[in-house]
Structure 1
Amino acid sequence: MNIGYARISKQDGSQSTQLQIDALTEFGIDREHIYEDQASGKKDDRPGLHACLKALRDGDTLVIWKLDRLGRSLRHLVNTVQDLDNRGVGLKVLTGQGATIDTTTPAGKLVFGIFAALSEFERELISERTIAGLVSARSRGRKGGRPFKMTTAKVRLAMAAMGERETKVGELCEELGITRQTLYRHVSPKGELREDGIKLLNKK
């Protein structure tokens, strides 16, 4: 079953969910299976979304008008969709930049996997700045801090980058905060997974 969710940000009546509802009903969703909220996407308290997520069952698909109707942030969006996937529920986006996302199809899952990788990479930015500082310190003869580490997000980004001819390995390693040895243990020069990369991704 397809279940729809619509949200607007303002509660003063200047906006309406009707445009979203029209798109959802045109897609074939019964009006009684469309949930609504009038709340900022940054708020946790969205009773319509909570009721919608509770109503979804294994084999159902959550349909939204645009990607930003669902998540408070990229991280929240990824976590929500991963939770749905664990429950056997798909996600389909009708329009906007996320319109290629349909996690009921292999291609749609691949697109969302890129979003997930970006979200994970976002979480690592602070630690990457720390690593960059350690690299600078080592170049001046100072030592300390944790060793370089490869993560699932870095593996996915390295695979994509190494598949491009113009990629400079040294710059990529500096960008990811890893050594060439670490890179090549996980990804081949053509962007193919190696044994360590396969093991790392299989842990997730």
Structure 2
Amino acid sequence: MLIGYARVSTDDQNLDLQRDALQAAGCERIFEDMVSGAKVDRTGMTEMLAVLRAGDTVVIWRLDRLGRSLKNLIAVVEHLEVAQVGLRSLQENIDTTSSGGRLVFHLFGALAEFERNLIRERTRAGMAAARARGRMGGRPKRLDPAKRALALQLHQEEKYTIKEICQMMGISKSTLYNYLATANRVGIGAT
């Protein structure tokens, strides 16, 4: 039996394209999820896995609909193999019921993992180069160093409440507490 699985990540996306493709492929049942692939709890996926029998084939529109990460995708495919259930991806033209389809699936998976590792390495190298030039990542500080020092001084003098200091400086309490914690770690005389 051909069993379809369709998933979109957000409520504003539409399942119609996938649903139409799965029906055209001959799926007798279609299970659907409207949730991110990164989420563990996907009720449509859980229901589909519960009804699968040996000899069935799960049909998906694209591989990324089944799992967000390569590790997750391979785990699902291994689960299907143990249950003697095939997998067919319409867009990638992969069918794991054949030995050639299994080979292509594993090659695509290896290439996808290689690409993610390259992206990760390039990102780390770019961040290291930026740090070497004195640029730190993240959101810029709300206050410049002089205003930060003034906020710390006002807190040390204990003439103003935390709320008053925050109002004067135009910052939130959490920002002030972060500045105080940083000053304490660095050893700038904040109390």
Specify the code of the residue in structure 2 equivalent to 1:104.
Answer: T
**Aligned partners of 1:117, 1:9: CA distance in 2, in Å?**
24
Change in CA separation of 1:121 and 1:22 when aligned onto 2, cut-off 3 Å: closer
Taking structure 1 as the reference length, what is the TM-score of the superposition?
0.53
1:39 paired with 2:32, answer no
Taking structure 2 as the reference length, what is the TM-score of the superposition?
0.56
Residue matched to 1:59: 55
Would you say the 8 A contact 1:74–1:119 is kept in 2? yes
Greater Rg by CA: 2
- 1:23 offset after TM fit, Å? 0.4
Residue matched to 1:114: 107
**Aligned partners of 2:20, 2:89: CA distance in 1, in Å?**
14
Would you say the 8 A contact 2:80–2:86 is kept in 1? yes
Would you say the 8 A contact 1:78–1:115 is kept in 2? no
SS for the counterpart of 2:31 is strand
Specify the code of the residue in structure 1 equivalent to 2:101.
Answer: G
Q: Structure 1: any 5+ residue segments left out of the alignment?
A: 126-204
Q: Deviations over 1:11-49 (max 9, x none)?
A: 2xx22111100000011113xx10000001111110001
Change in CA separation of 1:17 and 1:28 when aligned onto 2, cut-off 3 Å: same
Q: How does 1:32-111 map to 2 (within 5 A)?
A: 33-95=29-91, 99-111=92-104
Change in CA separation of 1:79 and 1:18 when aligned onto 2, cut-off 3 Å: same
Would you say the 8 A contact 1:102–1:108 is kept in 2? yes
CA RMSD between the two structures: 2.3
Residue matched to 1:27: 25
Residue matched to 1:2: 2
